[in-house]
């Protein structure tokens, strides 16, 4: 094969100059042609596949580059072409995008926006990478979540060795496209820092997973007139909507005239939904590709907004010549919410709902309400938790306190994980000694005073099958209003009074229970299950006559039609009915570090 010969340096100097009309930095001037041509060459090579799309070149019809042999005319024409309008790629290269959350939604959005050539990406996340994140958060690596030790005293040191999600995501995006400017913010967005963090952003992506942060982001974007691309995903479902988007008409100078403006989050949800209706990935699970698809759509919406040419990074000349239909993307109604369901109807997995802007919205109703709303002093905790159900009051700060509680914080109706572990160990030893006929009478007498414990795990059957304590019995707790939609359980517990005549004979055939304990994942549902169990006993009219009760556990086998029954008896006056503080999360923290992290 014949090799191409390089031209001598002298001939290279006299080659005809070239310029890309897709980038404002391009020029026919000989003084800057070398550096600008090199930059343009790299950009063209990197973004050529998308630059060929009409979506990225619909601005070029406004270019008027004359053909004149006069160098001065060439320079003037080139300058006027870059100042009169910009190509789609140039709009992306000049944009600043703020991404709140580097999890299942944020990771694909960050990678695709970096790959598309967005000028600057600011990623904000205060969490560290956990093992449970890796199946869906594709920016992070296994070594980012590895713990170097296992002792309780090394917990703080281990947490420090984990990688911050924002830094991890930027590392992955930078390896994809090092020409993009990145900034990692290792803290959560809140009412104190939101206005400062979002001030320079052209578009904001809400990839968070909690209501408080969502309302803060929406309020800040409404005040700043910044489009907010909001995504959510849990289970096999997802949701996508653009808040605070506007379509501008021609204005004079810096005047912001809105022909149309879309709703904010408060327009869709003036009051936050109850906590029970806002499940999290940790509680309800998530299919790994579900947030990936929603996050990819968030990146698409962001690119659509940037290509519309209506972001704040445009110059005054572009502001005057822009119109509401400047984007080559098909028209998308303001406030259009897309709902995803990837399992129920795979042939048509999306449904669209229109969210209307509210005239009485606390924040975005008028320009005056936007300017008057004081985001720094607004009580978001009271707003988010105020109207929620009992479960909501147990989440957040109160729940965290319970999980980190010490042994001396327990109450008569609650026990610690250490106390539960001691009871289970004593019961196990007693059971072995009962079976072993060679056990000494002294050893048997030692364990005669051991309390018999019955442990109910109130999580659903799926969670119970993933990981559970060996001696636990699955008895799912379901709220009364959710029983119709709850999955069928295989365990049924029946409590009945012992007949006075046959009581002694029955008690000889079954074991007595001294402690009935309830445990869940984090210590919330177990409290409710304990109270419901006690209420059912107290509502029995025979309590005053006879305090002895039989407790029958019926387990239905899915593979057969047989039903296994176990019977116990207990005295209502003497038996302890308790729940376990902190649940299985606290069990892993204080008892068994090898127990899986179920968060």
Element (H, E) at 184: strand 181-185
Give the total residue count for the chain. 599
The SS3 call for residue 421 is helix
CA distances from 175 to 111, 169, 170, 171 (A): 10, 10, 8, 6
CA atoms of 191 and 215, how far apart (whole Å): 9
CA atoms of 2 and 396, how far apart (whole Å): 71
- Tell me what pLDDT residue 436 has: 55
- Tell me what pLDDT residue 518 has: 94
The SS3 call for residue 449 is coil
* Contact assessment for residue 583 and residue 594, using Cβ atoms and an 8 Å cutoff: no
**Which residues 6+ apart lie within 8 Å of 30 measured at CB?**
17
- Tell me what pLDDT residue 77 has: 42
CA nearest to 269, candidates 287, 290, 243, 293: 243
CA atoms of 202 and 361, how far apart (whole Å): 23
CA distances from 388 to 269, 278, 382, 383, 392 (A): 14, 11, 10, 10, 6
Long-range contact set of residues 500-507: C-beta below 8 Å, sequence gap at least 24: 500/546, 503/546, 503/548, 506/550, 506/569, 507/548, 507/569
* Contact assessment for residue 227 and residue 97, using Cβ atoms and an 8 Å cutoff: no
Per-residue pLDDT of the chain (599 residues; tens, 9 = 90+): 555 555 555 555 555 666 665 665 544 344 455 566 677 778 888 988 888 888 887 655 443 333 344 444 434 443 333 334 567 888 899 999 999 999 999 999 999 999 999 999 999 999 999 988 999 999 999 988 875 444 444 555 555 567 899 999 999 999 999 999 999 999 999 999 999 999 999 999 999 998 999 999 999 999 999 999 999 998 888 999 999 998 765 454 444 445 578 999 999 999 887 665 666 777 778 889 999 999 999 999 999 999 887 665 444 444 444 444 455 677 788 999 999 998 877 778 888 999 999 999 999 999 899 999 999 999 999 898 864 433 333 433 334 444 444 444 445 789 999 999 998 888 777 666 555 555 455 455 444 556 788 899 999 888 888 889 988 888 888 765 555 454 555 566 666 655 544 545 455 556 788 889 999 988 888 988 898 888 877 665 555 456 777 777 776 655 555 566 777 778 877 888 899 999 998 998 889 988 888 87
CA nearest to 548, candidates 497, 478, 477: 497
Q: Interior CA angle at 412 toward 410 and 413, to 5°?
A: 90
- Tell me what pLDDT residue 48 has: 86
CA nearest to 132, candidates 298, 288, 243: 288
CA distances from 579 to 469, 522, 582 (A): 15, 11, 9
CA atoms of 23 and 319, how far apart (whole Å): 18
Q: Interior CA angle at 110 toward 106 and 111, to 5°?
A: 125
- Tell me what pLDDT residue 20 has: 62
- Tell me what pLDDT residue 135 has: 92
**Which residues 6+ apart lie within 8 Å of 43 measured at CB?**
20, 22, 23, 89, 93, 117, 179
CA atoms of 110 and 102, how far apart (whole Å): 8
CA atoms of 120 and 182, how far apart (whole Å): 6
DSSP assignment letter at 14: T
How far is C-alpha 402 from the geometric centre of its chain's CA atoms? 23
- Full set of structural domains in the chain with CATH: 17-90 (no CATH), 94-388 (3.40.50.720), 406-590 (3.40.250.10)
**Which residues 6+ apart lie within 8 Å of 184 measured at CB?**
123, 164, 166, 167, 169, 170
- Tell me what pLDDT residue 265 has: 95
Q: Is the pTM of this model over 0.85?
A: no
- End-to-end, the C-alpha distance of the chain in Å comes to 61
**Which residues 6+ apart lie within 8 Å of 173 measured at CB?**
110, 111, 114, 121, 139, 180, 182
Count of Cβ atoms closer than 10 Å to residue 462 Cβ: 10
**Which residues 6+ apart lie within 8 Å of 384 measured at CB?**
211, 212, 215, 272
């Amino acid at each position: 094969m014949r090799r191409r010969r390089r031209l001598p340096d002298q001939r290279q100097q006299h080659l005809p100059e070239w310029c890309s009309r897709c980038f404002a930095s391009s020029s026919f001037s000989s003084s800057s042609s070398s550096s600008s041509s090199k930059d343009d060459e790299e950009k063209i090579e990197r973004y050529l596949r998308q630059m060929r799309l009409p979506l990225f070149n619909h601005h070029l019809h406004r270019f008027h580059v004359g053909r004149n042999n006069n160098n001065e005319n060439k320079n003037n024409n080139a300058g006027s072409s870059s100042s009169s309008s910009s190509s789609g790629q140039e709009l992306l290269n000049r944009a600043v995008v703020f991404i709140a959350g580097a999890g299942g939604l944020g990771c694909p959005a960050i990678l695709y926006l970096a790959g598309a050539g967005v000028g600057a990406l600011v990623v904000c996340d205060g969490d560290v990478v956990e093992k449970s994140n890796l199946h869906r958060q594709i920016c992070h690596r296994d070594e980012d979540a590895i713990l170097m030790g296992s002792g309780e005293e090394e917990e703080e040191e281990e947490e420090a060795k984990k990688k911050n999600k924002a830094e991890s995501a930027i590392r992955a995006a930078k390896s994809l496209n090092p020409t993009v400017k990145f900034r990692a913010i290792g803290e959560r967005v809140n009412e104190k820092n939101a206005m400062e963090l979002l001030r320079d952003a052209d578009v904001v992506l809400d990839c968070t997973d909690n209501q408080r942060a969502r309302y803060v982001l929406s309020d800040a974007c409404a005040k700043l007139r910044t489009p907010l691309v909001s995504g959510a995903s849990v289970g096999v479902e997802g949701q996508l909507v653009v808040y605070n988007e506007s379509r501008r008409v021609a204005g004079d100078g810096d005047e912001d005239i809105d022909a149309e403006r879309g709703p904010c989050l408060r327009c869709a949800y003036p009051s936050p939904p109850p906590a029970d209706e806002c499940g999290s990935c940790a509680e309800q699970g998530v299919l790994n590709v579900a947030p990936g698809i929603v996050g990819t759509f968030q990146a698409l919406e962001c690119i659509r907004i940037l290509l519309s040419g209506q972001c704040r990074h445009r110059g005054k000349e572009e502001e005057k010549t822009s119109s509401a239909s400047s984007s080559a993307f098909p028209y998308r109604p303001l406030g259009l919410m897309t709902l995803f369901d990837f399992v129920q109807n795979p042939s048509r997995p999306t449904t669209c709902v229109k969210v209307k802007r509210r005239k009485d919205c606390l924040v975005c109703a008028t320009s005056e309400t936007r300017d008057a709303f004081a985001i720094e002093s607004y009580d978001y905790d009271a707003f988010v938790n105020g109207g929620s159900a009992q479960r909501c009051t147990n989440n957040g700060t109160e729940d965290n306190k319970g999980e980190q509680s010490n042994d001396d914080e327990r109450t008569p109706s609650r026990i610690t994980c250490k106390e539960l572990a001691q009871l289970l160990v004593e019961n196990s030893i007693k059971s072995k000694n009962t079976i072993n006929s060679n056990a000494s009478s002294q050893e048997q007498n030692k364990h005669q005073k051991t309390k018999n414990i019955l442990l109910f795990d109130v999580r659903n059957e799926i969670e119970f099958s993933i990981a559970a304590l060996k001696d636990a019995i699955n008895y799912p707790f379901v709220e009364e209003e959710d029983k119709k939609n709850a999955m069928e359980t295989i365990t049924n517990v029946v409590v009945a009074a012992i007949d006075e005549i046959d009581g002694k004979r029955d008690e000889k055939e079954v074991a007595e229970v001294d402690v009935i304990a309830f445990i869940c994942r984090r210590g919330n549902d177990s409290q409710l299950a304990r109270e419901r169990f006690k209420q059912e006993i107290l509502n029995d009219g025979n309590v005053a006559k006879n305090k002895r009760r039989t407790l029958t556990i019926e387990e239905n086998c899915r593979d057969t039609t047989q039903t296994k029954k176990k019977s116990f008896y207990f005295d209502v006056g003497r038996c302890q009915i308790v729940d376990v503080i902190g649940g299985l999360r606290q069990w892993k923290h204080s008892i068994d570090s090898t127990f899986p992290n179920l968060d």
